[in-house]
Each structure stands twice: as structure tokens, then as C-alpha cells.
Homo-oligomer: A and B are copies of this chain.
Amino acid sequence: MSTPSSLQNLIDALRVLPGVGPKSASRMAYHLLQRDQPGANDLAHALMHALGTLRHCRDCNTFTEAEVCEICADERRTREQLCVVEMPTDLLMVEQTLAYHGLYFVLMGRLSPLDGIGTQDIAFARLLERASDGVVQEVILSTNFTVEGEATAHYLAEMLRARGLQVSRIARGLPVGGELEHVDPGTLAQALVERRKL
């Protein structure tokens, strides 16, 4: 007695999902087959549809169904500023601030040697080309303040400055409404270093 091959294949296929080991893949497969076959069917079709329709924006590299995404196509945006983020979700976060009116470049990742993600695996070459179009004046590095995000920003800053571009990094500091008593010492130290003249 063994697991039927189509069931075993499904369990194996579910392991492509990040963070899903053999046990949860098995649990997911049984759940879908036993409790949610319509959901499993929807998932299969959503995967095929996304694979068939999504591509990277020619200009900013985010996912889009068109050749150029809505933001890059918007003529009201300032074309002199380029905000570099790790993922499309980060782009949405910046958009939600309503405080930025320039363009974006989405790396679709970060340098992460431990995960085997090096400079070849991220769209670095395309960013350098994009930032060197003669229109972009300032590149604002908005990668995360994680070890990987910081390393990515450091690497990009060097490459971009070498091309004569002005490079900036979003600020670290206390959150809006934040109290000194409740902030971690590292953030507070950085807020002191990055203090602004009034």
C-alpha cells in the first residue's frame, strides 16, 4: 500500500511554496481534496492565469498585465526621482503615504547570500541602466532596514554614485507619535545620528 501517485505528486508540488515542509504539504493536500475541491480548482486556475498574464513592467520591473504599469505610464509623476524598493508590496506602502510623486524601481528581492541570492539574481543591471537614462537625478534607496536590505542599499549606493547619480536613503527614526520610552535603543541612537537641523 502506498499513497496514490496523483496524491503524492500534489503533496510534492505543494512544497514549492515557501515555508511548506512535507508535513504541512500533506495536510494542505488532504484539506484541499477533502474539504475544498472548488478552492483547489480556483487555485489551479489562478496559478495558470497569473503565469499567463503577469509580466514585469518594462520601466520599473513591478508585476503588471500591461507592458508598462499604471505608475510609469502616468505623465503627472516626477520623472527625476527614482525610489528603489525590494518588492511590489513595498511600492504600495510608499504609494499609500501620498508623499511621493516620483517613479519607482522594484528589485524583486534583496541581496541574501545565505539564500543564494546574489547580484545576478536581482534586477541590479536593469536598475543601473534605468537610473542612467539622463532624466533621473536622484535615486532614493527604500530597501528594508534588515541586514539584507541594508547590504543591498550599501551595494547599490556605491554602484549608483560611481555613475555620478545622487543617492539617498530613507530615514530611520522614531515612528510618528513614538515615545522615547518605548523605542528600542538602536532606533533611538539612529534617530540621534540622523537628526535634522531646524
Copies held by the complex = 2
Within 8 A of B (CB), among A1-25: 1-7, 9-10, 12-14, 16-19, 24
Q: Does A31 sit at the interface, judged by CB under 8 A?
A: yes
Q: Tell whether, in the assembled complex, residue A3 and residue B40 are in contact, meaning their CB atoms are under 8 Å apart.
A: no
Given the known interface contacts A47-B10, A47-B32, the answer about A63 and B26 at a Cβ–Cβ threshold of 8 Å is: no
Q: Tell whether, in the assembled complex, residue A18 and residue B31 are in contact, meaning their CB atoms are under 8 Å apart.
A: yes
* Partner of A51 from B5, B37, B47, B95 at Cβ < 8 Å: B37
Report the stretch among A85-93, A152-160, A166-174, A183-191 that lies at the interface: A85-93
**Chain B residue contacts of A132, Cβ below 8 A:** none
Q: Does A151 sit at the interface, judged by CB under 8 A?
A: no
Q: Tell whether, in the assembled complex, residue B46 and residue A9 are in contact, meaning their CB atoms are under 8 Å apart.
A: yes
Interface residues, chain A, with chain B CB atoms under 8 Å away:
1-7, 9-10, 12-14, 16-19, 24, 26-37, 39-54, 63-65, 69-71, 87-89, 91-92, 95, 108-109
